[in-house]
């Protein structure tokens, strides 16, 4: 009988207490992971995640945009579960409420906050993981969450230009580091969802115009908004040894977003 794909691995999920990250943490444990560390800013979400996932999960509270956050989570993984094999960086979010939007409306604070959440945090966590893999001499796997908006824009409903810039930068950063560290057997890849029903997507998920657009822009499975677990299988694969010959790749899990035109409902203007 074949071993589970993540058998005996210890994985840190940065941004793992809700949404995509929490769903993935559950999938990692089901796929045989020895332990999972989930991180997040909200203590209530952290407690709920540990209660839901059981003794093979511990939480590390804090802000992913702080340079010390990921090193602390990796240290906790090694202390509690005796190793560190993979990092899944999910943390990020819309900067809309802080001033992200179309370029002519983008505020200085919106730019700063959006880049900190969606790009700086990725660089900090990946740096911490690479440093630990090098110290161990073991190699390892890193998976970063991007977005189809990084290269497949949607101006009518999703005109947050700093967010798109950050997600495009995640691709460039990941591919560049993947090339550099491949000889050390450190793999880095990107998972790029389209619109998924997570806490970040509440505005879109409650807008009937957007849901009508998504029905044609994400036509797979009847034309629907994505679910967190739609990304789990790809995340398990890319962090497992089954993907040992895969690095520097961007996998869109998007319901067909990047190959579909999408029909804008009548009367909808640019957002």
Say what the pLDDT of residue 259 is.
96
Length of the chain counted residue by residue: 271
Q: Range with the lowest mean pLDDT among 91-95, 135-139, 205-209?
A: 205-209
Cβ–Cβ < 8 Å for 21, 88: yes
**Which residue of the set 88, 163, 181, 237 is catalytic?**
163
Catalytic site includes residue 163:
yes
Asked if the model's pLDDT at residue 173 lies above 80, the reply is yes
- pLDDT band of 205, cuts 50, 70, 90: confident
pLDDT of 268 reads 54
For residues 123-146, average pLDDT? 98
**Mean pLDDT calculated for residue range 31-55:** 97
The answer, yes or no, to whether residue 267 has pLDDT greater than 70, is no
Q: Which pLDDT belongs to residue 271? A: 55
Nearest C-alpha neighbor of 146 from the set 103, 108, 91: 91
| 10 CB-near residues (< 8 Å, 6+ apart) | 33, 34, 35, 36, 37, 77, 78, 81, 82, 83, 84, 85, 86
**pLDDT, position 8:** 96
Q: Could you report the per-residue pLDDT of 8-38, keeping only the tens digit for each? A: 999 999 999 999 999 999 999 999 999 999 9
Q: Which among 192, 197, 230, 228 has a CA at the least distance from the CA of 211?
A: 197
Distance CA 39, CA 183 (A): 29
pTM for the structure as a whole: 0.95
| Predicted confidence (pLDDT) per residue in 61-85, tens digit | 999 999 999 999 999 999 999 999 9
Domains and CATH numbers, the chain: 10-255 (3.40.50.720)
């Amino acid at each position: 009988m074949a071993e589970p794909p993540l058998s005996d691995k210890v994985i840190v999920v940065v941004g793992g207490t809700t949404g995509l990250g929490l769903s993935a943490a559950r999938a990692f444990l089901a796929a045989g992971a020895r332990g999972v560390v989930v991180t997040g800013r909200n203590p209530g979400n952290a407690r709920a995640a540990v209660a839901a996932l059981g003794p093979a999960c511990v939480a590390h509270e804090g802000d992913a945009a702080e340079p010390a956050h990921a090193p602390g989570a990796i240290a906790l993984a090694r202390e509690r579960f005796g190793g560190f094999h993979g990092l899944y960086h999910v943390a990020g979010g819309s900067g809309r409420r802080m001033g992200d939007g179309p370029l002519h409306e983008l505020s200085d604070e919106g730019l700063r906050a959006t880049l900190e959440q969606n790009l700086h945090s990725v660089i900090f966590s990946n740096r911490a993981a690479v440093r630990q893999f090098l110290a161990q001499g073991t190699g390892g796997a890193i998976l970063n969450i991007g977005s189809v908006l990084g290269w497949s824009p949607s101006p009518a409903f999703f005109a947050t230009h700093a967010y798109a810039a950050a997600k495009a930068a995640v691709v460039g950063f990941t591919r560049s580091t993947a090339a550099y560290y491949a000889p050390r057997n450190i793999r880095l890849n990107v998972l790029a969802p389209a619109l998924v029903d997570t806490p970040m997507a509440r505005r879109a998920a409650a807008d009937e115009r957007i849901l009508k657009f998504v029905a044609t822009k994400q036509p797979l499975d009847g034309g629907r908004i994505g679910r967190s677990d739609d990304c789990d299988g790809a995340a398990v694969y890319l962090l497992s040894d089954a993907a040992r010959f895969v690095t520097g790749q961007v996998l869109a899990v998007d319901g067909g977003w990047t190959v579909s035109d999408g029909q804008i409902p009548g009367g909808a203007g640019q957002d």
